[in-house]
Amino acid sequence: MRTQVAIIGGGPSGLLLSQLLHQKGIDTVVLERKTKDYVLGRIRAGILETGFVDLMREAGVSDRMDKECFVHDGTVISFGDTEFSINFKDLTGSHVVVYGQTEVTRDLYDAREAMDGKIVFNTDNVTIHGADTDTPFVTYTTDGAEHRIDCDYIAGCDGFHGVSRQTIPLTVRREYEKLYPFGWLGVLSETPPVHEELIYACSDRGFALCSMRNENLSRYYIQCSLSDSPEDWTDAAFWTELKRRIPAKYAEKLVTGPSIEKSIAPLRSFVTEPMRWGRLFLCGDAAHIVPPTGAKGLNTAASDIHYLYNGLVQFYEEADREGIDRYSEKALARIWKAERFSWSTTNLLHRFPYQNEFDLKMQRADIDFLRDNREAQSVFAQNYVGLPY
């Protein structure tokens, strides 16, 4: 098989890249390790920056998103029973939208199938060959048979545990990582959201987040120990602890119900450099991870896709390599800013086991400064709605 761009990974970043390139007449093949149903069954966050929304529109897959998404002009931050709002629209002229990652992926699959795009599911033993040569190719097996794709370029959109990053030699690749001493216990419930905006809560008992997927589907999180498992938390225990961490006026009107999904996610900050090796480009979680506090995971993947897509179009339409040659440089410049925001917001709102009384006073002073200072809120809002590409 021959294609112009081989894309490893059939999640939202790989699918978005394939759809954008298709709009420009550039041929792609997408390889996915799991089944379509498995990919669509994954529960992920769904806060989309303006840049991501614009990419969906450019890719021609925004109709359902534009009709069903929730537009959020701000967010609420609380410390105990004290709360304040940060108005994104007033401070930046922009906003974010809430539209689940599963729905984004579903829309992209529908578009891929409508254009009869090539997706190969259930791929095993995916191996990248000759990425540092002018003749790269990818081999994989399905149903016990080996296949080969010859291509011009390879986009590694296969996540943190995928083959793409590991293909870059350790003599070239450098990794930066910070592990956090806690996780997030998340519960999905068929209940109305407690508030029209997200609530980020810092309390003496730890962090909590009140979020939503739609008007009858809510997503709530609490900071928990890494030694916990979801089975340690009954629904009743979760709701009780959540109410203790959010302002009383929200706790009193919180609608509870059975959890339909419950999981614990560890938190880490991670970046690998460079994001390009020869004709292999890393995108999304294959190159970087952020703690979810700043709502940047899917959005940082989208910024990678923006730079790679435009670089490939520049090459194929104008025979100009500037975009692909500078891909890693451009992508990393924005990624590190997103990493900083996610790291700083995590430090601002969580309880750390090593904090002493002085540390806690400083944390409260940081929150109070954000509450009282419009310029500080402007910086927060600029980062939350998404820095420009």
For residue 150, what are the CA distances in angstroms to 3, 9, 144, 268, 327?
6, 17, 20, 35, 22
Cis link prior to 181 (omega < 30° from 0)? no
Q: Listing from the earlier edge strand, what are the strands of the sheet with 145-150?
A: 124-129, 137-142, 145-150
Q: How many CA atoms lie within 13 A of 181 on its CB side?
A: 7
For 66-198, list the strands marked E by DSSP.
70-72, 74-79, 82-87, 96-98, 118-120, 124-129, 137-142, 145-150, 153-156, 174-189
Residue (of 143, 148, 109, 152) closest to 126 by Cα position = 148
Joined together, the tokens standing for residue 265 give 């996610």
Residues recorded for the chain: 389
Q: Which residues are marked as active site?
A: 72, 200, 292, 296, 384
CA–CA distance, 308 with 294 (Å, rounded to integer): 23
Q: Residue 64, class by beta-carbon neighbours within 10 Å (0-12 exposed, 13-18 middle, 19+ buried)?
A: middle
CA–CA distance, 156 with 128 (Å, rounded to integer): 10
Q: How many CA atoms lie within 13 A of 95 on its CB side?
A: 12
Joined together, the tokens standing for residue 362 give 């400083």
CA angle 9, 299, 72 (to 5 degrees): 135
Secondary structure (3-state) at 214 = strand
Residue (of 24, 22, 88, 84) closest to 50 by Cα position = 88
